[in-house]
Amino acid sequence: MGFVLWGFLTNFFTYETTKSVVVKSWSVGIINRIVQLLIITYFVGWVFIHEKAYQSSDTNIESSVMTKVKGFGYLQNQNQNENYQNRVMDVADYVSPPQGSGMFCIITKLIVTENQFQGRCTEVSTHSSACFSQCFLPLLSYAPGVITGACLKNSSESHGMCEMQGWCPAENDAIKIEPMDVNTFTIFIKNSIRFPLFNVTRGNFPPTMTANQIRNCKYHPEDNPLCPIFRVGDVLNYTGQNVTELLSRGGEIGINIQWECNLDLNIEKCIPKYSFTRLDAPFAKNAVSKGYNFRFAKYFKTENGTEFRTLHKAFAIRFDVMVTGKAGKFNTIPTMINLVAAFSSIGLGAVLCDIILLNFLKGAAQYKAKKFEEVLLFMAQQHVLYKSHHYQQHK
Amino acid sequence: MGFVLWGFLTNFFTYETTKSVVVKSWSVGIINRIVQLLIITYFVGWVFIHEKAYQSSDTNIESSVMTKVKGFGYLQNQNQNENYQNRVMDVADYVSPPQGSGMFCIITKLIVTENQFQGRCTEVSTHSSACFSQCFLPLLSYAPGVITGACLKNSSESHGMCEMQGWCPAENDAIKIEPMDVNTFTIFIKNSIRFPLFNVTRGNFPPTMTANQIRNCKYHPEDNPLCPIFRVGDVLNYTGQNVTELLSRGGEIGINIQWECNLDLNIEKCIPKYSFTRLDAPFAKNAVSKGYNFRFAKYFKTENGTEFRTLHKAFAIRFDVMVTGKAGKFNTIPTMINLVAAFSSIGLGAVLCDIILLNFLKGAAQYKAKKFEEVLLFMAQQHVLYKSHHYQQHK
Amino acid sequence: MGFVLWGFLTNFFTYETTKSVVVKSWSVGIINRIVQLLIITYFVGWVFIHEKAYQSSDTNIESSVMTKVKGFGYLQNQNQNENYQNRVMDVADYVSPPQGSGMFCIITKLIVTENQFQGRCTEVSTHSSACFSQCFLPLLSYAPGVITGACLKNSSESHGMCEMQGWCPAENDAIKIEPMDVNTFTIFIKNSIRFPLFNVTRGNFPPTMTANQIRNCKYHPEDNPLCPIFRVGDVLNYTGQNVTELLSRGGEIGINIQWECNLDLNIEKCIPKYSFTRLDAPFAKNAVSKGYNFRFAKYFKTENGTEFRTLHKAFAIRFDVMVTGKAGKFNTIPTMINLVAAFSSIGLGAVLCDIILLNFLKGAAQYKAKKFEEVLLFMAQQHVLYKSHHYQQHK
């Protein structure tokens, strides 16, 4: 019994290692070391230092954005109506929605159609449609109401216009108006983020900034990259687009906040980087739906209780604050996997050397004999060949 | 000195490789090659070709969505009030919020409570609550105002109704109305995305599409998979839900835009795929909170300046445009890690062959003798055993 | 021909394995096994069991949130105007935006400026600015309108006030009012998620919950962790912030829904975990922009058609429902990579043993002779040395 256990223990506590052949040759030795050097350089320089393969990363950022716009503008209007003549617009008028979330619009131009009541009227003849041919089409897509099929003719006109049912009078959006100047407006952005994997929380401006510093700064990519206050005119310029056209037709601007954090370094270096793009750039070549606009209505009631509305076609610049981020921190698992890959790759370098040794070197045959020992077990010839082989080896 | 350096150099430029035993045996040879073939097939077919393990991937998509709804509907209403009788609703009336973001609601049914003033009145007795028992409960959750505790009795009624304070008269939402037909409405979706890791920007319709093509197309999964205009009726049908119920109770529909991009191929093949789901599907079995509705108010003022409001309980179909994506591109690090894993796995295949060779084959003992060379260093028996072992081996 | 093929086949179906040296030594054997044990423990315990490295994971969660607030509050107001005296506020009044998305504000305090008309008036002198020095600055940032540069003096005052153009009278936001008590309000959250990689869809409350159970429960982290109804007072308390200050100045609260799903287990265990944080916490040390407020206006018309508005400065608690998640499921590729890393690491353990064997053990020389076989191919000395080496070995 004790003997069996002893046998088991001596068998268990053994150490098995590969038997090596050491080749002392200048050419192979140098090739071997150069290959190893290249592999090590690649791993140290690229994989570990540049690509930071020793870190696990979290791109699943959690973000909350609060925005606040400031500024006043003069709204030009097509109407002679005193209501909209050179009106001073403030934040409550031109920012929509008002809650200050990451997506907000600054209205630059308003086509206002006042005093619309439900009823029947002619559509505005921007398309100069002859009644007889088109008024029977159901739901003309460009019509501002349901086409009834009837044709309304003025005594002076020869072809008349389609009658529509809906909010009357119809909007006439073919009017040209100058957009409001929004260049001097400022946007304040408060962004707090968290990397859930590492439980790291950061804000987009440092806690050491005083209230006064924040209020009086303006963002500048080099001079003031951490100031959270952006001049609208600057933002539009940074996108490299035609600002006049943007203001006039509307557009979608992306304010990108990028967090690239190496959590192995000082957390204070985990700061945001802003970039500005025109979001509808991929559609630049398409003629359709250039710009950005939307319609909304304000509802009123007459004394006798009938509802009427003012329709607004608002051309706006929509700002989307988009937060992306990536945090990396040392983690044993990717480190180990990449270390193993590194060591194994060095091993694979030996394959190259073997090929050279076995085929292209003077001592190839002799090296082959040293490296390989044959055991012949092919059934048919087994006995004989093995003998002869054995014999040759020990000869 | 020169001699030491020479010694160092000859030691440094050596090449060390493992000594191998080559077994020439049909059975083990065939097993070895089959195992290798299986491992190579798995790696080439599954890991590299199917799972594209040679790519690094970016799922952290950056997306901006712009939507625009078109169409007119007739709103049915419970009131005899002329204001809401067969009213034609346009986009400014039924889309909320109006800004055309990725989340928007199309209102299908409105329960309107006009001319609400702050004051005291009876709650609507949809719950036929007897005054004496329930009017003293604070904040009855279903009440449309604060329950004062008082009981208001009509002469004709025996039990009366609770008095409430708030906006009066109270809303009666137990009314049945037909929903508006929104099937013919269309949704235009403009989606531009970016994969920040690879800095690739794409739009959801090709720049070669002309304005006319876009305006006149309708999305169809097979015939027109890239058209960005969706018929609401089609979208509802694609979800496989009961459309009548959806329109009547409201619901949440997810319009999923999936970007699956292989950036090693032509960038033109990086196109979106749309799918449509009912988002509250996980709650289908729960009886609570079926459908989707929200309340909003329009505020008015009487001549003498008292504010009153019209309360709207809006049943709506909420559309959430959700963009997900994954881009893959060749990268050396995952390629190398998987190659190393592949080569190492082939090496592990040898373990199986070794087990067969060492245990189940005719020449096992002979193979064992060839593969293993023993060095005995156990302290107690070291000297003697080593000698005998040495002797046996060289016998 | 047949012979060549036969030769090729016998060469192809061979099996090559490394020749091993088995060292029977207590010290090295024990060290070897201990090193192996440590490596195996690390891989099994940390890499596979704790870090679940056998799973591929999806953090790219797709989520849709629906919220509904319930409750009534009494709004205190600065005005003697009957409109706002002890007004009962309901959901349509205090929730903004009304659509019930993942981001919504509960208004706790309203500074109301009624009957604003476009015109010219003095700004409210909260800054007691002397006309002569500041009225000529363009666009004073704190002014509620465009400063015209004129100075308006009352007969009684010595320095007067700047004249501004815009909505008059100007807002005076320096008034102190008590916030509305929102603690008893409740928030119902419906969250449905999908992990696109695994196509798993889940809802934030179990389908077995009856309508009655859901209506009557209140969320509690331990007693009722799956109830989707949250008391606002509780949520504010969970953040650990000063609730009185939050209500009075407004704030941003994050309601975090975390999905941590192991899809190898029963899918029923894939449930959400809620946590509550104050989102502007990273800015706690900054004096600027504490709290949360926004401005919006209601528009009215006089009988003769002039538009006027009521400006609201709303202090609100903004709730951001943020959904994060991670799902893991067994996948062959990470399993294989980590297994290979594990086996390779065990192999690397041998390096340590080799160092001990070759340098610190009694039998080192003898072990060295066994492990290494030399082939000398250095050009200069090649012939002679090889001979002598050969001779020594076979001596």
Residue B390: its pLDDT value, please? 45
Evaluate whether C61 touches C194 at the Cβ level (below 8 Å): yes
Count of A-C CB contacts under 8 Å = 227
Residue C383: its pLDDT value, please? 43
C4 pLDDT more than 70: yes
pLDDT in tens, A323-344: 999 999 999 889 988 888 888 8
C379 pLDDT more than 70: no
Using the Cβ of C337 and the Cβ atoms of chain B, whether some distance falls under 8 Å is answered with yes
Chain A nearest CA to B143, separation (Å) = 27
Subunits with 3+ Cβ pairs within 8 Å of C are A, B
Percent pLDDT > 70 in chain C is 84
The domain limits of chain B are: 24-54+333-384, 62-108+183-290+320-330
Average pLDDT over residues C134-150: 62
| Distance (Å, whole) CA B234 – CA B244 | 13
Name which of A10, A14, A17 to mutate to probe chain C: the one with the most chain C Cβ atoms within 10 A of its Cβ: A17
A392 pLDDT more than 60: no
* Cβ-defined contact of A13 to C33 (cutoff 8 Å): yes
* Cβ-defined contact of A92 to C295 (cutoff 8 Å): yes
State the fold for domain A62-108+183-290+320-330.
Answer: atp-gated p2x4 ion channel fold (2.60.490)
* Cβ-defined contact of B300 to C303 (cutoff 8 Å): no
Q: Is B65 annotated as a binding residue?
A: no
Evaluate whether A185 touches A71 at the Cβ level (below 8 Å): yes
Subunits with 3+ Cβ pairs within 8 Å of A are B, C
DSSP H or E stretch at residue A254: strand A251-262
Single-letter code of the amino acid located at C138: P
Q: Which residue has the higher pLDDT, A392 or C86?
A: C86
Length of chain A: 395
CA A65 from chain center: how many Å?
A: 16
> Closest residue of C to B107, CA-based?
C99
Using the Cβ of B378 and the Cβ atoms of chain C, whether some distance falls under 8 Å is answered with yes
> What residues have CB less than 8 Å from A19, skipping those under 6 apart?
B18, B19, B373, C18, C19, C20, C21, C370, C371, C372, C373
pLDDT in tens, A339-390: 888 888 887 778 878 887 788 877 778 788 878 877 765 544 444 444 444 4
Single-letter code of the amino acid located at B45: G
Using the Cβ of C356 and the Cβ atoms of chain B, whether some distance falls under 8 Å is answered with no
Chain B nearest CA to A216, separation (Å) = 31
Using the Cβ of B199 and the Cβ atoms of chain A, whether some distance falls under 8 Å is answered with no
State the fold for domain A24-54+333-384.
Answer: Helix Hairpins (1.10.287)
Q: Is A318 annotated as a binding residue?
A: no
* Cβ-defined contact of C83 to B306 (cutoff 8 Å): yes
Q: Is A52 annotated as a binding residue?
A: no
Lowest mean pLDDT of A34-38, B79-83, C255-259, name the range. B79-83
Residue A384: its pLDDT value, please? 40
Evaluate whether B316 touches C101 at the Cβ level (below 8 Å): no
Using the Cβ of A142 and the Cβ atoms of chain C, whether some distance falls under 8 Å is answered with no
> Closest residue of A to C287, CA-based?
A211
Inter-residue long-range contacts of C1-9, CB under 8 Å, 24+ positions, other chains counted = none
Residue A126: its pLDDT value, please? 47
| Tokens, residue A147 | 């086409």
Evaluate whether B309 touches B167 at the Cβ level (below 8 Å): yes
Give contacts of B55 with chain C, Cβ < 8 Å.
none
Q: Is A295 annotated as a binding residue?
A: yes
* Cβ-defined contact of A141 to B201 (cutoff 8 Å): no
Percent pLDDT > 90 in chain A is 34
* Cβ-defined contact of B24 to A374 (cutoff 8 Å): yes
Residue A319: its pLDDT value, please? 95
Report phi then psi at C348, rounded to 5: -65, -25
Chain B nearest CA to C285, separation (Å) = 31
- Count the neighbouring beta carbons within 10 Å of the beta carbon of residue B195: 24
Q: How confident is the model at residue C382 (pLDDT cuts 50, 70, 90)?
A: very low
ipTM score above 0.95: no
| Tokens, residue A374 | 């044959």
* Cβ-defined contact of A88 to C165 (cutoff 8 Å): yes
Q: Which residue has the higher pLDDT, A127 or C107?
A: C107
> What residues have CB less than 8 Å from A319, skipping those under 6 apart?
A67, A103, A104, A105, A106, A187, A235, A253, A254, A255
* Cβ-defined contact of A19 to C19 (cutoff 8 Å): yes
* Cβ-defined contact of B167 to C88 (cutoff 8 Å): yes
Using the Cβ of C378 and the Cβ atoms of chain B, whether some distance falls under 8 Å is answered with yes
> Closest residue of B to C191, CA-based?
B280
* Cβ-defined contact of A192 to C353 (cutoff 8 Å): no
The pTM of the full predicted model, rounded to 2 decimals, is 0.87
Residue A371: its pLDDT value, please? 81
* Cβ-defined contact of C345 to A336 (cutoff 8 Å): yes
| Distance (Å, whole) CA C286 – CA A207 | 5
| Distance (Å, whole) CA A230 – CA A207 | 19
Closest partner residue to A21 (CB to CB) among B19, B99, B202 is: B19
Give contacts of A333 with chain C, Cβ < 8 Å.
47, 51, 53, 338
Using the Cβ of A198 and the Cβ atoms of chain C, whether some distance falls under 8 Å is answered with no
* Cβ-defined contact of B377 to C361 (cutoff 8 Å): yes
Closest partner residue to A295 (CB to CB) among B14, B91, B210 is: B91
C130 pLDDT more than 80: no
State the Rg of chain A over Cα. 39
Evaluate whether B173 touches B294 at the Cβ level (below 8 Å): no
| Tokens, residue B395 | 């016998």
Using the Cβ of C37 and the Cβ atoms of chain A, whether some distance falls under 8 Å is answered with no
Residue C124: its pLDDT value, please? 64
Subunits with 3+ Cβ pairs within 8 Å of B are A, C
Q: Looking at residue B112, what DSSP letter applies?
A: E
Residue A391: its pLDDT value, please? 43
Q: Looking at residue A283, what DSSP letter applies?
A: G
Helix (H, G, I), strand (E, B) or coil at B234: helix
Give contacts of B318 with chain C, Cβ < 8 Å.
66, 99
Average pLDDT over residues C321-339: 91
Q: Is B186 annotated as a binding residue?
A: yes
Chain A nearest CA to B313, separation (Å) = 17
Using the Cβ of C141 and the Cβ atoms of chain B, whether some distance falls under 8 Å is answered with no
Residue C229: its pLDDT value, please? 93
Residue B327: its pLDDT value, please? 93
Closest partner residue to A354 (CB to CB) among B17, B74, B92 is: B17
pLDDT in tens, A240-296: 888 998 898 899 999 999 999 999 999 889 999 999 999 888 887 776 667 899 999
Average pLDDT over residues A198-210: 87
Cα-Cα-Cα-Cα dihedral of B313, B319, B322, B323, to 10°?
-140
pLDDT in tens, C195-207: 988 989 999 988 8
Residue C209: its pLDDT value, please? 82
**To the nearest whole number, what is the mean pLDDT of chain C?**
82
* Cβ-defined contact of A283 to B207 (cutoff 8 Å): yes
Residue in C346, C350, B395 with CA at minimum distance from that of residue A20: C350
Using the Cβ of A347 and the Cβ atoms of chain C, whether some distance falls under 8 Å is answered with no
Give the position of tokens 């005119």. Answer: A233
- DSSP letter for each residue of B169-188: SPP-TT---PPP--TT-EEE
C145 pLDDT more than 80: no
Residue C384: its pLDDT value, please? 40
Chain B nearest CA to C72, separation (Å) = 7
User: Could you read off the pLDDT tens digit of each residue along chain B, which spans 395 residues?
Assistant: 677 888 888 778 888 888 888 888 788 888 888 888 999 999 999 999 998 999 998 888 889 999 999 988 888 766 555 566 778 889 999 998 999 999 999 999 988 888 899 888 877 654 444 554 556 554 444 567 777 767 766 655 556 677 888 898 888 877 888 899 999 999 999 999 999 889 899 999 888 888 788 888 999 999 999 999 999 999 999 998 889 988 988 999 999 999 999 999 998 899 999 999 998 888 877 766 678 999 999 999 998 888 899 999 999 999 999 999 999 999 988 998 888 888 888 877 788 788 877 888 777 787 888 788 777 655 444 444 444 444 444 44
Q: Which of residues 159-188 of B touch C (CB under 8 A)?
A: 165-167
| Tokens, residue A365 | 């045959």
| Tokens, residue A312 | 């607004």
Closest partner residue to C22 (CB to CB) among B30, B295, B373 is: B373
* Cβ-defined contact of C190 to B375 (cutoff 8 Å): no
Residue B272: its pLDDT value, please? 95
pLDDT in tens, A91-136: 999 998 999 999 999 999 988 888 899 888 877 654 444 555 556 5
Q: Which residue has the higher pLDDT, B204 or C130?
A: B204
Average pLDDT over residues C102-127: 83
> Closest residue of A to B94, CA-based?
A296
Give buried/exposed letters for B130-140 (b at 16+ CB in 10 A, else e): ebeeebeeeeb
